[in-house]
Chain A
Amino acid sequence: DIQMTQSPSSLSASIGDRVTITCRASQSISSYLNWYQQKPGKAPKFLIFAASSLQSGVPSRFTGSGSGTDFTLTITSLQREDFATYFCQQSYSTSLTFGGGTKVEIK
């Protein structure tokens, strides 16, 4: 299986900050990388697909980039509603795998 490693596992940030989360694949996955946001007690929400394409309705302050093995999710100007846990997920293999998650907390 393809292993997905996210870093950091958690971070503290303030409203208005720029936040960057990294996801690394154990082998090249081209651009087969998706991002999700999950708030406590809720189901995940689909944010970004194909590494950099924004899902409909997702604010433009969320951007994704990368290809191959290294990917980033950036939130420009962090808003209160963005405090959540973020997961990457590869779809290069039909055995889908998620990263371990990055919890974004209020500083």
Chain B
Amino acid sequence: EVQLLESGGGLVQPGGSLRLSCAASGFNFNNYAMNWVRQAPGKGLEWVSGISGSGDNTYYADSVKGRFTISRDNSKNTLCLQLNSLRSEDSAIYYCAKDSTRQPYGMDVWGQGTTVTVSS
């Protein structure tokens, strides 16, 4: 069974940092791109970042470019998102999502999400 399990969310002050992780199992991790998608309370979905299956190519939404860094360790089937210079508007549930191809395209499996709250 394909599974994604996020961790690392929590409460952080504005300007602070957080590192999210996603442990993947049940599929050939390095064959698929991975993405982070967030959802603020009561709002819609916002794609945050994606990374190719090999890890060679990374992609970011303008809203997080320069502040967030996506990475993956294919030897450990793990996806990470480093969140720096956090703002209140970054507060959301962050979902790890497996892509259906080697490049960001469409997300066919999602984790349960981890909540990030940015507040003083």
| Cβ of A46 to closest chain B Cβ, rounded Å | 4
Tell me the minimal C-beta distance from B112 to chain A in angstroms.
Answer: 6
Stretch at the interface among A11-19, A72-80, A97-105: A97-105
Interface size on B, residues (CB 8 A): 24
Binary A-proximity of B45-73 (CB < 8 A = 1, otherwise 0): 11100100000000111100000000000
Residue B78 at the chain A interface, CB threshold 8 Å: no
* A: number of interface residues (CB 8 Å): 22
Q: Write out the residue numbers on chain B whose beta carbons fall within 8 Å of the beta carbon of A49.
A: 100, 105-106
Main secondary structure on A side of the interface with B: loop
A94: CB under 8 A from chain B?
Answer: yes
List residues of A whose CB falls within 8 A of some B CB. 1, 32, 34, 36, 38, 43-46, 49, 55, 87, 89, 91, 94-101
**Residues of chain B whose beta carbon lies under 8 Å from any beta carbon of chain A:** 35, 37, 44-47, 50, 59-62, 95, 100, 103-113
Supply 15 A–B pairs (Cβ within 8 Å), ascending by A: A32-B105, A43-B110, A44-B37, A44-B110, A46-B107, A87-B45, A89-B106, A89-B107, A94-B50, A94-B104, A95-B47, A95-B59, A95-B60, A96-B104, A101-B44
